[in-house]
Structure 1
Amino acid sequence: MKELTATGRTVDEAVQSGLKQLELQADDVEIAVIEEGKKGFLGIFGHQPAVVNIREKIDPVKEAKQYLENVILNMGIQAEVTAEEEPKKVMFQLKGNKTALLIGKRGQTLNALETLVQLVLNRHSDRYIQAVVDAEGYRAKRKETLRQLAVKLADQASRQKKDIHLEPMPSSERKVIHDTLSGYSDEIETYSTGEDHNRHLVISYKKQ
């Protein structure tokens, strides 16, 4: 993040001087006036320059992308990170030779990275933005796997007439199963239970 204190005969002149030094535009910075300046007697004696502090605005997406790159590098993995912005969501795509390590068992590592990036992204944003971290199309494949699993377990719950508790999973994955089984059968309902990392979904058989 670039920042400096600039001076000039007027506030506007100080600002323009600072922007030129930083090679930034006015929309890219935050400006704080420290001294408005004084012309002095006859425009000469007692003159005091205007002083401003100019700080580059933090780009939440750029900050989150750099954070993700640093985390991956510290894991000893070389991977390319790209960010695609949507109105309320940012997709971070990972590409490299060791994406399997970044995905982890059932996407656990990828989910952990996504949680961290989500925090960084919204720490510097004035509105909530959803972060999605994906690698080699894993999210789409996982979504299809969850849909198939949902139907299979719903049929099992109906046959055995009992509730089935799934393993803990992120809210986004629980939502896939909720949506898949919504209206699937009058005998089946789904709900989440548990706290924090133990929160999991239940496929419940409704006694008729």
Structure 2
Amino acid sequence: MNDVTTTPDVSGGADQLKRLEEEGEIAADYLEELLDIADLGGDIDIDVEHGRAAVEIVAEDSADRSLGRLVGKDGEVLEALQELTRLAVQTKTGDRSRLMLDIAGYRAGRRAELVAIAEEAIGRVHASGAPVALEPMNPFERKVVHDAVAAAGLLSDSDGEEPNRFVVVRPA
């Protein structure tokens, strides 16, 4: 079951919105096949958020934890599935996709954790006036932290090389 919702935060007009909705539909088809092959239940919700397609696999039954296998330790399987889904979309459209995939609310929960980590670092920077370096994070996680730091009026940079790239929070 695919539910398509759109949020008004899409720049580029109707053509852009149509393209992003198409990306979501292609991704949903790909992920439905994956769920069938893996013999896993789940509904697929499609949205357009912040100028990109957003697809989420949600459990049909809230007590069902089987989708956790598609998240993996620290979201590693989720990251891999997101890249595979982006490649499936690119194969069909010919364009690179920035699609975001969430499974069983993992990214939403992780986003809340990351905002708390950012707020703690922001407090330390305000108290000491010195930069604070955080633990290595993947690109999604760094983006969440950068957004929280910017909203607090401070500066942040990413330093290091993948997979050990990390955020440094600095005074403004």
Q: Specify the TM-score bucket, using the shorter chain as the normaliser.
A: 0.5 to 0.7
Which has the higher relative contact order, 1 or 2, with Cα contacts under 8 A spaced 6 or more apart? 2
Q: For structure 1, which runs of at least 5 residues remain unmatched after alignment?
A: 1-58
Residue 190 (structure 1) aligned with residue 152 (structure 2): no
Aligned-residue offset at 1:62: 5.8
Find the aligned partners of 2:119 and 2:52 in 1 and give their Cα distance: 30
Contact 2:28/2:55, CA 8 A, preserved across alignment: no
Greater strand content: 1
Find the aligned partners of 2:102 and 2:121 in 1 and give their Cα distance: 26
Task: Label 1:90 to 1:152 Cα distance change in 2 as closer, same or farther (>3 A).
Answer: closer
Between 1:136-145 and 1:158-167, the stretch displaced more is: 158-167
Greater helix content: 2
Q: 1:150 aligns with which of 118, 126, 145?
A: 118
TM-score (norm 1): 0.55
Aligned-residue offset at 1:147: 1.3
- The match for 1:80 is 42
Task: Label 1:183 to 1:91 Cα distance change in 2 as closer, same or farther (>3 A).
Answer: closer
Task: Label 1:179 to 1:91 Cα distance change in 2 as closer, same or farther (>3 A).
Answer: same
RMSD: 3.0
Q: 1:124 aligns with which of 75, 86, 92?
A: 92
Aligned-residue offset at 1:66: 5.2
Max Rg structure? 1
- Aligned pairs for 1:4-23 (under 5 A) are none
Once the two structures are aligned, what percentage of the paired residues are identical?
A: 25
Task: Label 1:109 to 1:64 Cα distance change in 2 as closer, same or farther (>3 A).
Answer: same
Q: For structure 2, which runs of at least 5 residues remain unmatched after alignment?
A: 1-24
Find the aligned partners of 2:92 and 2:116 in 1 and give their Cα distance: 38
- The match for 1:46 is none
